């Protein structure tokens, strides 16, 4: 069974290999992970180090908390498990303007977009006036 620690206040240039080497004084390190920002691709300033035993986790917290790595004082805590969201991921709403599903504006029986109204010179634009006072959202 493995256990992890959360490492906060990391220098943005710290690598996972440096974390493994730094925390190896506490016990056998199984892995180290530094999450990257999805927009910029750089480190988010924290990481996780996984050990093979709970004793190693306690040693890591005791020895490495408030110690310095890369010019910054680290904050080391026991990692908490990620809470699960009920029902999984939220479904995305259908986007009729992107070609998925039907378009209620085109399927509406009271709006006829196939004809051209040449009397006002605006063509289809007059059909939108029929929407006045009606609900415009999906």
Q: Which structural domain, as residue segments, surrounds residue 110?
A: 100-127
Whole-angstrom distance, CA of residue 8 vs CA of residue 66: 10
How big is the chain, counted in residues? 138
3-state secondary structure of 105: helix
- Whether 107 has a pLDDT exceeding 80, the answer reads no
One domain for residues 7 and 73? yes
One domain for residues 113 and 70? no
To which H or E segment does residue 56 belong?
helix 54-64
7 forms beta bridges with 47, 76
128's tokens: 């939108």
User: How large a percentage of the chain has pLDDT more than 70?
Assistant: 60
Give the residue with greater pLDDT, 86 vs 102: 86
Asked if residue 82 lies in contact with residue 73, where contact means CB atoms within 8 angstroms, the answer is no
One domain for residues 20 and 69? yes
The confidence score (pLDDT) of residue 105 equals 55
Average pLDDT over every residue of 50-66: 95
- Whether 127 has a pLDDT exceeding 70, the answer reads no
One domain for residues 73 and 113? no
One domain for residues 54 and 118? no
The confidence score (pLDDT) of residue 119 equals 52
One domain for residues 18 and 70? yes
pLDDT in tens, 78-89: 998 877 777 666
The confidence score (pLDDT) of residue 82 equals 77
One domain for residues 12 and 51? yes
Q: HEC string of 108-128?
A: CCCCCCCCCCCCCCCHHHHHH
The confidence score (pLDDT) of residue 24 equals 95
Average pLDDT over every residue of 23-51: 94
One domain for residues 116 and 66? no
- For the chain, what is the mean pLDDT? 79
For residue 104, is it within any domain? Answer: yes
Q: How far is CA 46 from CA 39, 53, 115, in A?
A: 16, 21, 61
């Amino acid at each position: 069974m493995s256990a992890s620690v959360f490492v906060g206040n990391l220098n943005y240039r710290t690598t996972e290999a440096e974390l493994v080497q730094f925390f190896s004084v506490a016990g056998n390190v199984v892995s180290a992970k530094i999450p990257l920002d999805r927009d910029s691709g750089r480190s988010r300033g924290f990481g996780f180090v996984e050990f093979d035993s709970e004793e190693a986790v306690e040693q890591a917290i005791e020895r490495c908390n408030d110690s310095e790595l890369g010019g910054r004082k680290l904050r080391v805590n026991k990692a908490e498990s990620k809470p699960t969201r009920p029902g999984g991921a939220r479904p995305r709403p259908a986007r009729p303007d992107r070609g998925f599903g039907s378009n209620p504006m085109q399927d509406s029986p009271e709006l006829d977009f196939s004809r051209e109204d040449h009397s006002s010179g605006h063509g289809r634009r007059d059909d939108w006036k029929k929407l006045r006072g009606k609900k415009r959202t999906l």
